[in-house]
Amino acid sequence: MWLVSLVAYRALGHRKIKLSTNTKEFWKGRDRGYKIQGEGEEIDAQFLEWKLRKRDLSSLGYPIQMFAPPGACYTTFVHEQYRCNTDNGSIECKPGDFAIDAGGCYGDTALYLAHKVGPDGKVVSFEFLPVNVSIFRKNLELNPSLASRISLIEKPVFSKSGQRLFVLGNGPGTRVVAETADQEAQKVELWRSTTWWGRKNLNNWISSRWTSRAASLMP
């Protein structure tokens, strides 16, 4: 139904079609996120002329400081895009969980997940673009208590390990491809996520938590 509404909106415009997200609650939440002012040092994200400034999220209820675009304050921390409501309850990270952040970018999602899983949980984040990794690590330095719950793997996550592909850097939209005409494109080695936790002997730990969580959501 959502897709039909979106297509109709694209075809007929905002004067004819109102999307379900176009509510007072949506705009109020968006304003909360976008009003978080950046301060101090500015970082060049090398993407669309973005300049990232340090933002304090305490007013949103998170003991987090981070270099990030204003949109991340809303989508990740106010809207909570990684939380799904169902008829049987919410699907989200809870204390003690193990979370995989497959595409860490600047680290805002990893910090959100680390806050959710608590001191007994763990977050494994995959990010491979050097400029993104640099910003990610700055954000870890700003949040030492959450950083202890996060493992940053500087490789792209894939269905199998060992394959090497070219990187096409594009900020949050960075991707890897098998072939490119760019003579300066760097190559990276792909990793399967289970490669990491297999080495850390986490398979049984993950399995037990996944099974109990899935059972709790069964009708």
Beta bridge partners of 124: 100, 151
Residue 109: the pLDDT is: 93
Q: Give the span between the Cα atoms of 219 and 87, in whole angstroms.
A: 9
Residue 216: the pLDDT is: 42
Q: Kindly give, in sequence order, each residue whose CB lies less than 8 Å from that of residue 51, ignoring residues fewer than 6 positions away.
A: 42, 43, 44, 45
Q: Encode pLDDT of 114-125 as tens digits.
A: 999 999 999 989
Residue 32: the pLDDT is: 78
Q: Give the span between the Cα atoms of 22 and 146, in whole angstroms.
A: 34
Residue 108: the pLDDT is: 93
Strands, sheet with 164-168, edge to edge from the N-terminal-most edge strand: 175-177, 164-168, 187-189
> Within a 10 A sphere around the Cβ of 186, how many other Cβ atoms?
12
Which strand (E) or helix (H) includes residue 72?
helix 70-72
Residues of the chain with pLDDT under 50: 201-219
Give the domain ranges of the chain. Answer: 30-202
Residue 200: the pLDDT is: 53
